[in-house]
Structure 1
């Protein structure tokens, strides 16, 4: 379910201090609910199980189309990536986060981990169109359970980036996210039964 921006801004996330110059693109409630300490399971439900090959057909199609278009126009060349045209948010980490940041035990390509805490995870990627951050939060519901929340933060790269984000917004909101949310929920329950 899509959430208002305040669902993200009202939380005391560490990402606020690291990415104040990024715009909030989307905030979504994620279907999984669980116990404290299950953020790694959520990260695995999102990135695990052979993504994007294991993703729903519409997501695979759009994902592959995006990378083919990016290759054609040179959007994803290393000269447009993290550390080249976009400094990594890891460069902004305060000392206390540098010491405890860990990588997930799964491959999250094309993203790179910014940090991984008990209740939040941030990963980033950059290309010619945009520098984006996926933030996952694991939020207590006040009744003893926790639920996931995903926020997508963006910094468009010039006019091309703004046009790109506007062009893909309907696809992302009406096709990609609903399909991914169903997949995340299935993966969450599959992990619970194994």
Structure 2
């Protein structure tokens, strides 16, 4: 379920310290009910994700087109990404976060972990269009349990990046996120141990 930005901005997440120049684009309650110790499983599920596994053929097609365009137009070239066009957010981390774990490596998605805490994890990606952050957190669900929450923070790269983000907005909300949330819920159910 999509949430208001305040569901992310009102919480005392450490990500706020290092992304004051980023805008919150999306906040979602994840269909991942669990207990206080289930956050590591959620992170493993995300790190192992792949856009080609989306259950929606239309979403898979959109991702395939985006990756193909990125390759043809050089949007995703290394010199347009982290450590080249933009410095990694790890350079902004306060010492306690820098000394802690960054988080898992991604199997197939173009993200790099920034930091990991007991209830929040941040990963970043950068290309010709933007510098983006995926913030995954573990929050009380209001009924004694917990659930995941995802926030997407973005710093567009100039006018091109702003236009790109505006163009893909309807696709994200109408075509990409709904099946993604269903897939996350299905995967969560399949990996939930029997109690």
The residue aligned with 1:118 is 118
Contact 1:40 1:104 in 2 (8 A): no
| Gapped regions of structure 1 (runs ≥ 5) | none
SS at 1:151 equivalent = strand
Deviation by residue 1:137-172 (Cα, 9 ceiling, x = unmatched): 100235431111110000000011001000000000
SS at 1:53 equivalent = helix
With the length of structure 2 as denominator, give the TM-score of the two structures: 0.93
The residue aligned with 2:133 is 133
Q: CA deviation at 1:105?
A: 6.3
> Take 2:169 and 2:75, find their aligned partners in 1: how far apart are those partners?
18
> Take 2:162 and 2:106, find their aligned partners in 1: how far apart are those partners?
31
The aligned runs of 1:5-24 (5 Å cut-off) are: 5-24=5-24
Contact 1:111 1:124 in 2 (8 A): yes
SS at 2:11 equivalent = coil
> Take 2:37 and 2:92, find their aligned partners in 1: how far apart are those partners?
26
> Take 1:43 and 1:184, find their aligned partners in 2: how far apart are those partners?
11
> Take 1:58 and 1:39, find their aligned partners in 2: how far apart are those partners?
30
| Gapped regions of structure 2 (runs ≥ 5) | none
Q: CA deviation at 1:109?
A: 2.8
> Take 1:153 and 1:173, find their aligned partners in 2: how far apart are those partners?
15
Contact 1:32 1:148 in 2 (8 A): yes
SS at 1:24 equivalent = strand
SS at 1:34 equivalent = coil
Contact 2:51 2:109 in 1 (8 A): no
Aligned length: 193
Q: CA deviation at 1:17?
A: 0.2
Structure 2 residue 85 is matched with structure 1 residue 88: no
The residue aligned with 2:161 is 161
Q: CA deviation at 1:128?
A: 0.5
The residue aligned with 2:50 is 51
> Take 1:11 and 1:65, find their aligned partners in 2: how far apart are those partners?
36
Contact 1:31 1:148 in 2 (8 A): yes
With the length of structure 1 as denominator, give the TM-score of the two structures: 0.93
> Take 2:118 and 2:59, find their aligned partners in 1: how far apart are those partners?
29
> Take 2:44 and 2:60, find their aligned partners in 1: how far apart are those partners?
18
